[in-house]
A = this chain, B = another copy of it.
């Protein structure tokens, strides 16, 4: 085994693993809340809904935080994953587009509890500006630059209609935002070095519809699992 120090910047964690670390984190928090101090990879894998071999391999990319014959210390492992993801620090976030979805996002408690702080809500519609949503006053979109500079914001959320998404993204990138979470049903192009993740509600339903249709047509059910269970 090659023991890697936690400061070894050359270490690369596969993208598929990164996407699962937050799930492990949540499962560990649930275990800790139940008063459980130690767990095996089997326990944690069950709680996270994955295969235990996959879990162990995922954790091995972070380092060697378990004890053979014993398992993992819940609090210790939780801290290590949190540090690796970066949720031990505070992340200021701006949300652009305060429609139905923007409202819901602004009120979502799961952000706050994981270190994401909504520092501003922005909308181009003057009718919305000035209203208070989730305890935050909606400000005009043109205030974006001022807010980003003041709070050193790196992460932006787009919850606008599709037609506005690319413009908003362009403005965000120009001002220095380097990570974007896009809820608008549109493809946004960004330069190298900027991360975009897309969440599209209707696409998820369409994927389910495809599998549902195959089930209804009596297709071979061996592959009926949608691949996301």
Contacts and interface: CB of A to CB of B under 8 A. Distances in A.
B114 A195 contact: no
A56 interface: no
Interface band, chain A: 35 or more
Given A104-B100, A193-B221, A227-B15, A21 B209 contact: no
A1 interface: no
A61 interface: no
Given A202-B116, A223-B12, A91 B195 contact: no
12 contacts: A9-B220, A10-B220, A18-B207, A19-B203, A89-B213, A108-B202, A114-B206, A116-B205, A190-B229, A194-B229, A195-B224, A197-B208
Q: Choose among A22, A48, A115, A186 the residue with the greatest number of B CB atoms under 10 Å from its CB.
A: A22
B154 A181 contact: no
Given A87-B206, A89-B213, 4 more contacts: A111-B202, A155-B205, A179-B212, A181-B208
A34 interface: no
A207 B104 contact: no
Interface in A136-158: 154-155
Interface of A: 9-10, 12, 15, 18-19, 21-23, 25-27, 47-49, 84-87, 89, 91, 93, 100-101, 103-105, 107-108, 110-111, 114-116, 154-155, 178-181, 185-187, 189-190, 192-213, 215-221, 223-229
B104 A210 contact: no
A14 to B, nearest CB: 10
A178 B10 CA distance: 44
Contact of A86 (B49, B108, B193, B212): B212
Contacts of A219: 9
Copies in the complex: 2
B195 A211 contact: yes
A188 to B, nearest CB: 8
A195 B104 contact: no
Given A22-B203, A114-B202, A86 B213 contact: yes
Contacts of A195: 208, 211-212, 224-226, 228-229
A85 B209 CA distance: 7
